[in-house]
Copies of this chain bind each other. A is one copy, B any other.
Amino acid sequence: MIEPIFASWKHVFKLDPDREINDEALDAVCMSGTDAIMVGGSSGVTFDNTVDLLSRIRRYEVPCALEVTSEEAAVPGFDYYLIPMVLNSRDPQWLVGRQVEAIRQFGSYIPWENTFAEGYIILNADAEAARRSDADARLDDLSVLAYVRLADRLMRMPIVYLEYSGRFGNMGLVRRARSLLTQGRLFYGGGIDSAEKAGEAAAAADTVIVGNIIYSDLAAALKTVQAVKQREN
């Protein structure tokens, strides 16, 4: 049982509301042929900068998902809402606590039909995301694969997200993770700064997330779209 919407996403650009992007660059990103734009960041995300970025993306037809990392920035009007749950956090607040608090607060206003959990496994111990969520990122391969099965089989999560955040990951491990999934879709993110790496990631994961490089080398970022789309996986 794969969610139809994710089944068609091979390439996703991730935009951070807390970082500047001019209209020309945003136009290039939205018209690039990417399958979706994901809006989210690990710090400085507010209602105002999120609604501002959404309104600019909305001039284009590309589907737009919000990765909800703070209650205050839960802006209406996105096509999809993705709720990260950090499976390898040492602090249950990052696994279920903050999510329960948000559900408690927003209750019936949550657009459940368009809301999906992402089972995050954070694998770069040096990344800001790992520090903030107190993730046990120094896992051996067997433990990573056990987390993947837990997310897919027991928690039946529609998205299992291997996050190397800023570092290009172990594609052999990513490929093995994907081979274990029975219903979820494997998202990969981290260190994709060239068409070549994008192609490698596309051969290993179901969906490739490209983020930081948008802000440092837009031309290289745009090349990742075709690199992913051409790759049969």
Give me the interface of A with B, judged by CB distance under 8 Å: 1, 83, 85, 87, 89-92, 95-96, 99-101, 103-104, 107, 112, 115-117, 142-143, 145-147, 149-150, 153-158, 182
Per the bound structure, the CA–CA distance linking A145 and B107 in Å amounts to 9
Q: Are A146 and B104 CB-contacts (below 8 A) given A89-B92, A155-B155? A: yes
- How many copies of this kind of chain does the complex include? 2
Q: How far is the CA of A116 from the CA of B182 in the complex (A)?
A: 14
- Give 5 A-B contacts (CB < 8 Å), ordered by A residue: A85-B154, A96-B150, A100-B150, A104-B142, A112-B153
User: With A100-B143, A146-B101 given, is the CB distance from A153 to B115 under 8 Å?
Assistant: yes
| Chain B residues positioned under 8 Å from A158 (CB to CB) | 156
- B103 to A149, Cβ gap below 8 A? yes
Closest 5 CB pairs of A and B: A104-B146, A156-B156, A117-B154, A103-B146, A155-B155
Name the residue of chain B whose CB is nearest to the CB of A158: B156
- Nearest residue (CB) in B for A115 is B153
Pairwise interchain contact B153-A155, C-beta atoms closer than 8 A = no
